[in-house]
Structures are given as C-alpha cells and as structure tokens.
Structure 1
Amino acid sequence: MNWQAWATVAVIAGAMALFASEKMRIDVVALIALAALMALGILDPHEALAGFSNEATVTVAAMFALSLGIERSGALEPLARLLARIRRPWLLTLALMLAIAPIGAFVKNVALVATFLPLALRVCARTRTSPARVLLPMAYAAQMGGVCTLLGTSSNLLADSLAQRHGLPAFGVFEFTELGALLAVAGIAYLMLVGRWLLPRHVDAEQPQALDIGSYVTELRVMHGSALVGTTIAAARLGERYGVYPLELLRGDRRMWEPRAQEIAVGDVLLVRGDWDKIEDFRRRAGLQIAPEHRYGLPGGGAPVLAEVMVAPASRLEDRTLAEARYPWGYAGTVLAIHRRGQVLREKLDDVRLEVGDVLLLAVDERDLAKLRADEQVVVLSEREDARRVSRRALVAVAIMAGVVAVSGLKWLPIPFAAICGAVAMALTGCFGRKDVYEGMDWKVIVLLGAILPLGTAIEKTGLSHAVVGTGMALFGTHGPLWALLMVYLLTALLTELMGHNPSVVLMVGIAFQVAQSLGVDARPFVVAVAFAAATSFATPVGYPTNTMVYYAGGYRFTDFMRVGIPLIALFCALSMWLIPHFWPFHP
C-alpha cells in the first residue's frame, strides 16, 4: 500500500476510536476525519463535499420531516392509549413489538421509542415489574422494523445510494421486506421464548416508577423561621428523620469545608439527595424552599405541573449546563431536581453538565404541556393522561406518508423527490409548525452522513479496499461465496457495534463490491448483507440510538445487551446466510 492508503488507515482508526469512546459527538468526529483527508490531499474539495449533495443525505433529511409530521400530529396516540390498557408485562412486551416493528418500517425509530417509552414505564410501575423486562425488546423491535423497507432506516438508504454509485440498479422500496419480515418474526419469537429469560429480573430501586425515578439531587434554601436555623446538619439527623441525605452546604457562592459541623443560617442552601416525595415532606416540615423554584419560578403565574423528562440521544442539551439550557427550550419550565443513574451529583444544579439519560424533574406551565411533549431534546417519562381524540392532522399525516410510500414503491417518482414532496405537503397542511421541521431534524445524522460518505471515496481511491479484500479473500475466498458473505456480514456487525450503523455502511459497501468482483458473482447479496448487519445492532447500548435510550431508562448494564443481543445477532446471521442467497442469488 502507498502512503495515502496508510494515512487513510490512520484516519479510520482514529475515527473508530473516537466513535467508540463517545468522548466527542459523532458528527464532529466525521467532520474531523473529512478535514484530515482534505488536509492530506487524499480528497479534493469536490470529492470532500459530495456527501452533502448525495441523494441519501437529502432523502434521510426529508424522511426525518415525514416522521416528525407523524409524531407531532398525534397519529400514534390512539395506539399508545390502547397499549396502555394492558396489565400483564409479558403481553405488553409482545404487543409493543408487534406494534412497533411494522410502524418502524416507515417512521424514525427514535421517535417511535420516545412515544411508547412513557406508557411502558407506566404499565411497569402499575404492575410492579422492572422496566428492564420490557424496554430492550421494544428497542430491538424498532430496529427489526426499520430494516424491512428502504425507507425504514438511514443505513438502508445509504447502502442503496452507494450501491448505485458502483453501478448497481436501485433497490425497490419493498425489496428488503420479505427478508426483513422473516427475520423480525424470528427475532420476536426469540425474545419471547428465550430472550425474556436472559433479561434482568430484578426491580431496582433506581428504576423508573411512576413519578419516582429514584434519588434526585436538588437545592433547598433555608428560610426565616426554619427549624434548622442554628443547628448543624449532623445534629439535624436528616437521614434518620426524613430519609433525605445532605451532600453539601452552600453559603452564597461558597462551599463550606465541613458541612456537617457547620451551623445552618438563614439563606444557606442545602444540596440534598432523596426520593422526591421525601424531599417535599422534608421541605414542608423544616420550613425550606426549593431554590431553583425560588430563583426562576413560572412566568405568567400559570398552574405548575410536575413532569419527568429524560435527556434524549442527539439532544442539544447534552454537555450543556442547566443555566445554558434553560432558555432555548421554548416553554415556561424550571428544573427542580436532577437524577443521574449510578452517580451522586455534588455540584450546584446550574453547574451540572447534562448527559444523555439524565432525568430532570421539571415544573412546567400546564398550558405548555403540548410543547413539552413535542420537544425533541427530551423524552417525557411521566405526564398526565391525554384522552384527546385523533385529530384531522393525524389522519392527513398518515395519508401523506402512505402516499409517499406508494408513489416511491410504484416508482412513479424517485424516492428523494417523493420524500421532499411529502415533507412539503405535511408543512402546508399543518402537520408540524413552520419552525418544527428545523428544530425536530436530527442534524447530527445529516452532518454525519454528509461528512462520512467521502471516507468511502478515500478507501477506494487509495486502493485500501483492494488490500483489505485481498487479505480477507486469502482467509475465506477459497471456501466459496457463502463464506465470503459471512465474512462481510460479521465484519459489518462488528464495526456497527464499535462505530454505529452509518459509518460501518460507508466502510463496508466498497469492500463488499470488491469481494463480489474477486469471486465473479453478483454484488447485490453482499450489499444486502451490509445493510442488514448494520441496521440490526443488538450487542451494545451504543450501536444504535434506541439502544441508548432504553439503556438509561431501563437501568440495564452493558452486559445485559451482550447476553441478549449476541445470540440474536447470531440468529439473524445464520438466517441471513440461508435466505439472502435465496432472494438475491450469487449467479442471477
């Protein structure tokens, strides 16, 4: 290999390390890799920017808008209310999977899981069942559904676009459906018959339970007349009397060096940890005031409603402090407390940098509940029941989505054009607001696609793909195309768990074509293997956004994903090796 190929290897290795470490946002990592390839002269400006005009990038953006219309119009609410009536957790698990998998073929997976996550938590709280028994199968079902159509996930669209660049005819919208449906049925059967026994059975005290997500950290201000004035924290014995545990004593901007021995004065702020109902009881009995509520309150004097929200994957709130995040939310709300799984926070609330999975106890104006539900930056874990009827906008949104699928499936219009027309139709009919489409768009994914696509060009331009294929074929090529297909599938699955599904598709589609050419067989089976292996990431909580969501909400450990997901990947791999050559023969 020449120096440019080795330089490309170094860029890929660095990007993989950053993707896997999660120390930096995925779109920033992709931009860094793109800038490095340009600086090294491996890509010229035209090649480097080609990813942002690629039809896969445009189509994914339009599909995000369509999914947003379905979500914001309330089209999924009747199904959610129906599922909320289920009393048995195992039946809820099965019903959720059977409902989510078909919808996931057309609606963004993250939006689906965000919609059904609160009702799953409510049913688990009502039946005193650990959410860990329900949430992981729900996330897996969203992935199973996404792979069933070309529109279901961005990695499918990306694989199709890259395949066309290599000269293959475009895949049809429903060309993946037959294989995807068979794998989904097998996956659901596995999760109900085998996987449910591998899921955690404990009910952890830190698990979401109705309006009690666990131990919150909040600030309580000592007021005139408080029973704590003049006493020390040690003498007050807060843990024994109230079940509330003091962490720090704050006086102005100072932390007291020995908080337990320090005499409490009017105006001091106690940083405490405990269940919210115990904190509230302690506050009333001790004559304290919730400091955030005292500082900010609710403008306009609206009726406050408590809601628990979780910071969602790809949220703009990530890595921002509460003070920085307060103003962009667009509704009247005050963060009263915060819960972070597995950690005890000791900073002032305004100094806490938010992370994905943090749960915030929010006092929000009752009139702004609709805005809160529509906020893409958070997932509402608990709220008042909403008994609204299906709106006209919901029916219009469903009709527009069906029209886009029909028009593109019948090949009356190219998929990107049909998706853009559908997004425009939803905007004109009011399925989402004028600003919603920009606020609800997952720009991280759009930038990631635009910046990572040129990496595939660099792999082929430098001859790196030939070197990788040569090594792989020396190991597997002599055993025939089926073994080579297995190699492509397993390598894609491994890269997906490390890097995410879209980067792995970019790396593997070119390699899949080289493998097919070296064997003298059709490349379509190999592209399908890449698409399916990338879109079904079950073994880690970081390979797919829906996994990340339920990882925090369900209280899972990393090993829970491996224990349940690795056998499921093996099942999908075995079935794919049997079915892919059947639907897409090596020698058509």
Structure 2
Amino acid sequence: MGIELALTLVVLAGAIYLFVTEKLPVDVVALLVLCCLLMLRIVSVPDALSGFSSPATVTVAAMFVLSAAIERSGALLGIAELLARVKWRWLFALLMMLLVATISAFVNNTAAVAVFLPLVIRATSARGWGPSRFLIPLSYAAQFGGVCTLVGTSTNLLVDSLARQSGWGGFTIFEFAPLGLIFASVGVLYMMIARPLLLPDLGVPGQATHDPVGRCVAELLVTPESRLAGRRWSQLSVEGTDPRAVLLEVFRTGEALPGPANVSLEPGDRLLLAGNWADIEALRQRQRLRYDPVSSDLDGHPSTERLRAQVMVTPGSFLVDKTLRDVRFGHLYRCRVHGLHRRHPAMRAPLDRIPLAVGDVLVVDATADAIDTLGRDRGLMVLGAHPQPRVDWPRAIGAIGVLVAVMIAASLGLLPIVGAALIGCAAVVALRCITPAEAYAAIDWRVVVLLAGLLPLGLAIDNTGGADWVAARTIEWVGPYGPLFTLAAVYGLTAILTEIMSNNAAAVLVVPIAIAAAEGLGIDARPLLVAVAFAASTSFATPVGYQTNTMVYSAGGYRFTDFAKIGVPLNLLFWGMAVVLIPRFFPF
C-alpha cells in the first residue's frame, strides 16, 4: 500500500466518522475533505475544483431552479387541493403516493414533500384522521418516484457523472424508468398493506401556530359548483365527513333561516361558521365554498401576491362600535375580511353587521401594500401576515411547459441534460415564472457544495488505487460466488451506508469500488452502478437516512423505531428485487 493510498484511506475514514456522527454539517465535511486532499497533494488543483464544474453538480443546481418555478407557481398546490377532496382513507393514501411518486420523478422530491406535507396534515386533521398514518408513506413515495428517472434525485445524476468520468458511459434520462416503475409499484402496494398495520395512529395534532389563536367566525358563500348546493348541513355528519366547524346561521337574501342545520342549501346562501381557522379553511376547499367576494375591484392584478393577515382593533380606534359595512372597510383599506376572532364570541349576525370591539382580530386578505396601510393606522395592529398559497395558472403552465421541453430535449438526445436544464433555467426566468432572486434562493447550496466537495474524493480513491484495493478484498470474499452475489453485496453496502450518512456520500464511496469490482470480475459495471443508484436513493429504515424522512419525522410525531418497523422490511424487499431484476434490465 503506497503512502498516497494510505493517506486517502485516512481521509476517507475521517469523512465517514464525521458523516455518521453528524458533528459537522455534511457540506462542511465535504469542504474539509477537499481541503485535506489538496494539502496532502493527493489531487491537483484542477481535479479538486472539478466538482464545481461537474455536469452532475450543475444539473442538480438547475433542477432546483426548475422545481422552484413549478412550486412557486402553485401548480403542485392545485394538485394537492384536488387530493384533499378524497374522503376515503385508503383511496387518499393511494392517490397521495401515486401523485407524489409521479411528481418526484421530474421535480425535486424534497420540494414535492415540502408542498404536500402541510396539505396532507391539514386534510387528514380536518377529517379526524391521524396524519402519522400518512406522512411516512408520503416520504417513501417521493423516494419511489425518484428512482424512475435520471433527474429524480441528485444521487442518480451523481452516479451518472462518476460513471462517465470512469469511461463506462452514462445513462439516458428514462433508462431507469422500466425498473423504477416496478420498484415504485411494489413499494406503493407494500405501503397500502403495511400502513394500517405498522404505522402508529398518534391522533390529530394541534393547529398551525401562524393562524389566529382560538375560535374564529367566518362567512362562506355557497356557489353553484359547491358540493353543499341542494344538500343539508346535517348530512355531513351522517356521511362521516364531520367538518369540525360549527354552523351558526344560514343567511338567505339577508335573513337568517330557522333550523340552519336542516335547511336545504341553495347557491347564494351564506353560512356563518365558527371553529379553528385551519378547520374552516379545510371545509372551504373540500366543499368548494367561497369567501365573500365583496367587490371585484379589490382583486388587483392576478400576478400580485396576496397575504393573509391578522389585524387587531386597538383602544381608541374609530372602528369601535362600528360595523365593517358602516365604514366600508374593504374599500377603505383595499382588503377583504374573511373572519373575525373575539375572546368571548356571541356572534349570530353577518360579519359586516357585527359591531367591532377593542381586541377583535380581523382575518384579512390583502396585498402587501394594503397590509402596510393597515399597519400605519393607529387604531389597528397587524399581528402577523403570511402569503396565501394559490395557483398562478399562467406561471404554472409556463413552468410545466419548460420542464416538459427540458425532459423531451434530453430524452431525445437533442441536448445533454445539463445543457437542457440550463436553458430551462433561463427560460423560466425570462417567462417570469420565477425571479432571478428567487432562482438563486431556490438552489440548495449545501447539496451543491456537498457534491462538489465529494467528487474529488471519488477521484482520489480511484487514482490512488484505493478502489482497486477495496475491490480486490471484496472479490476475494464474494467473487467466487459470481456477479450476482457481488451485485447483492454492492447494493447491501450502499443501503447500509445510506442509512447512517448522506446518500450522496454513500454513492461517492461505493461507485469506485463497484467499478473496480466489475473490472476485476470482467463484467459490465452498469448493473452495479444501477444498484448503487437505487440503494442510495431509497432509504427507509431511519429518519436521518434521507431528507424527506427527516422532514416528516417531527411533523408526524414519530419515534425512531417507527421508521425501522416499516422501513427495514421494505429495504429487504427492495434488496431482493434488485438482485433478481437489475440483471434482467442491465445484463452483466
């Protein structure tokens, strides 16, 4: 063993220790590895910096921008809101996994989970279902979809880049799809069976803290397309879709109707509801109700971002003892009032006819400029504001169209994937689907630095003979049993490393070993490379093995063992499938 190889293995051991113990962030560890390799002169300066210009690194950064353009347009939100209307648990879980898996094949799976996570919590909580039965399936489904295309995960792109550097050629954008679809189908089927058996039901969590505290009163309009048109409110409880909001009154042509729960509702009726804001909002979306539109001239430009804010009436305000109608509040402040929170609610009148009192909190829908105007009024206090998620269809269509064009150009070989992705980034900015500032902010620079810092480590392992040395030891142990056993060993090693460290780091460590082992056995390396990509992109047994697992870990209130209970059998199932199926699609 030469001195360079010994030093490389020492750096490698230190990197593995830091990755496993998480004493430092993974991107910092990657930079430390890069600096060590430079100082020890194991790699040259051009090789050390090659990770920053690698097609994998550039493509990952570009895909973050394309994913953000779709996310910020609200396209994913529109899909998620359609999902929220499903009222059967099994169907909700099935459609959720299929939708997320499909989206994650083309959009960054972390972004997909980030969009669906609050909506799944809100939709399930509104029905009284425990979100803990749905959030781990959400995370796993994102991983199922990620293995179906080359751009589904950064790990796939990384393996592709390392394979090209080693002279084995890369993969086309849909080359993983036939095998990935089988894995995704089996994974969804497994989760449908195991979900009710192995996942805990931890009940409905508390409501989101950014919404008004306590019970609010809101007024919703029954529209012709509403599901409540022609039905009675009391039917909701009978059907098992209790809205968790209380119906106070039904107003028709300005008059309250007796026995509101048993009134056959008609388009134009106004429902006065009381409940937590998240429950009222979930009911509005599910039953296709609308807030009072007031006047169309308050809409503003369709592309203008609207905020939902909580505004308190303070002592000395001219609004005290006046109604919203008296002061024409909407036109005065250029906003709409969607709800009213009062410490001791006793409200049975339409919102615009309720005399306001000190301490009342109005839930308003307005632009940022209108919120500033409210904040400058001494009689009002803005307690908080946050953007309202909505679908901007022109931007959504533009962003989706660009992504489809990128996929087509790359799959037909018209452009390399990195070139198509960069042109796509320029296109979404030019079409104003995303601003330049949003594009820069959308890139997860930690992932970029991680990839750029680890790629030279892969070069060092390869150039110093480290991969050959490890592969030789591996061949001694598993080589006599044939290529199939070697594939099983490579998949198992990658899967274990992925559970305890970054999936990208695991891929960088194993790819050189897999290539050297293939060359030692005289077989095609591509089956082993596919095994690395699939094993590193599917981590189910721990909440720290993959980013999406970490996202749902605290949100679902899970314990560490909940992932192991449902994830270990799934890891073993995928391991067995990989050994049987990979050689059929990628022969030795």
TM over 0.5: yes
Change (3 A) 1:166 1:93: same
Spell out the pairing of 1:16-55 with structure 2 (5 A cutoff).
16-55=16-55
1:305 and 1:573 mapped to 2: Cα distance? 51
Q: Does the 8 Å contact 1:121/1:210 carry over to 2? A: no
Task: Pick from 420, 423, 439 the counterpart of residue 422 of structure 2.
Answer: 420
Please list the CA deviations of residues 415-459 of structure 1 after superposition, one character each: whole Å capped at 9, or x if unmatched.
100000111000000111120011111010011111110000111
Which residue of the partner structure matches residue 528 of structure 1? 530
1:544 equivalent to 2:549? Answer no
Matching residue within 181, 193, 208 for 2:205: 208
CA distance in 2, matches of 1:520, 1:303: 64
Deviation of 1:368 (Å): 5.4
User: How far has the Cα of 1:383 moved from its partner?
Assistant: 7.9
1:61-460 map, 5 Å = 61-203=61-203, 208-211=205-208, 304-305=309-310, 367=367, 388=390, 390-460=392-462
Alpha-carbon distance, 1:469 to partner: 1.0
**Aligned-pair CA distance for 1:465:** 1.1
Is this contact kept in 1: 2:308–2:388, CA < 8 A? no
In structure 2, distance between residues paired with 1:368 and 1:93:
37
Q: Is the 8 A contact 1:108 1:152 kept in 2?
A: yes
Question: Is this contact kept in 2: 1:34–1:454, CA < 8 A?
Answer: yes
- Distance in 2 (CA, whole Å) between partners of 1:174 and 1:117 is 27
- Note closer, same or farther for the CA distance 1:303–1:14 as it changes in structure 2 (3 Å cut): same
Change (3 A) 1:551 1:366: farther
Q: Give the residue type in structure 2 aligned to 1:436.
A: E
The aligned amino acid for 1:485 is L
8 Å contact kept, 1:101–1:143: yes
2:75 is paired with a residue of what secondary structure?
coil
Measure, in 2, the Cα distance between the counterparts of 1:384 and 1:123: 19
Cα separation, 2, equivalents of 1:187 and 1:65: 29
Q: Specify the SS of the correspondent of 1:76.
A: helix
Q: Distance in 2 between matches of 1:137 and 1:63?
A: 24
Q: Hey, what's the Cα distance between the residues in 1 that align with 2:434 and 2:308?
A: 26
Q: Which runs of 5+ in 2 are unaligned?
A: 214-275, 278-306, 312-362, 372-384
Residues 90 and 56 (structure 1 numbering): CA distance in 2 closer, same or farther, change over 3 Å?
Answer: same
SS of the aligned residue for 1:86 comes to: coil
Which of 474, 478, 481 is the equivalent residue of 1:479?
Answer: 481
Structure showing greater radius of gyration is: 2
Q: In the aligned structure 2, how far is the partner of 1:189 from the partner of 1:424?
A: 39
Matched letter for residue 578 of structure 1: V
| Distance (Å, rounded) in 1 between the aligned partners of 2:399 and 2:538 | 28
* CA distance, structure 2, for counterparts of residue 479 and residue 32 of structure 1: 39
Q: Which one-letter code corresponds to 2:494 in the other structure?
A: T
- Give the one of 470, 473, 481 matched to 2:472: 470
The 2-side partners of 1:133 and 1:474 are apart by 45
Unaligned runs of 5+ in 1: 217-275, 278-301, 307-362, 372-381
Deviation (angstroms), 1:212: 6.2
Task: Give the alignment's TM-score, normalised by structure 2.
Answer: 0.70
SS in 1 for 2:570: helix
The 8 Å contact of residues 100 and 142 in structure 2, kept in 1 or not, is answered as yes
Amino acid in structure 2 at the alignment position of 1:208:
P
**SS state of the match for residue 304, structure 1?**
strand
The separation in 2 between residues aligned to 1:552 and 1:115, in whole angstroms, is: 16
AA aligned to 1:473 is: I
Say whether the 8 Å CA contact 2:83–2:92 is kept in structure 1.
yes
Contact kept, 8 Å, 2:542 with 2:563, in 1: the verdict is: yes
For the residues of structure 2 that align with 1:514 and 1:489, how far apart are their CA atoms?
Answer: 15
| Equivalent residues of 1:88, 1:127 under 8 A apart | no
User: Equivalents in 2 of 1:368, 1:31: separation in Å?
Assistant: 40
Letter in structure 2 aligned against 1:418: A
Superposed displacement of residue 303, structure 1: 7.5
**Residue from 509, 513, 516 that aligns with 2:515:** 513
Query: Aligned partners of 2:392, 2:445: CA distance in 1, in Å?
Result: 30
AA matched with 1:184: A
In 2, Cα distance between equivalents of 1:488 and 1:19: 20
The answer to whether the 8 Å contact 1:51/1:57 transfers is yes
C-alpha displacement at 1:129, in angstroms?
A: 2.3
**Separation of aligned partners in 1, 2:386 and 2:574:** 37
- 3-state SS of paired residue (1:202): coil
State the identity as a percent.
48
Inter-partner Cα distance in structure 2 for 1:364 and 1:114? 25
Q: Provide the C-alpha distance between the structure 1 equivalents of 2:554 and 2:534, rounded to a whole number of angstroms.
A: 26
C-alpha separation between the residues in 1 aligned to 2:100 and 2:20?
28
> In structure 1, how many angstroms separate the alpha carbons of the residues matched to 2:164 and 2:202?
49
The amino acid of 1:210's aligned partner reads: Q
- Aligned CA RMSD, in angstroms, stands at 2.6
Q: 1:415 to 1:303 in 2, by over 3 A?
A: closer
User: 1:559: Cα distance to partner?
Assistant: 1.1
Deviations, residues 229-286 of structure 1 (Å, cap 9, x unaligned) = xxxxxxxxxxxxxxxxxxxxxxxxxxxxxxxxxxxxxxxxxxxxxxx99xxxxxxxxx
Matched, 1:572 2:577: no
The Cα of 1:460 is off from its aligned counterpart by 1.3
1:13, distance to aligned residue in structure 2 (A): 2.0
Contact 1:55/1:161 (8 A) holds in 2: yes
Distance in 2 between residues matched to 1:107 and 1:156, nearest whole Å? 13
Instruction: Count how many residue pairs are aligned between Structure 1 and Structure 2.
Output: 432
CA contact (8 A) 2:527 2:586 kept: yes
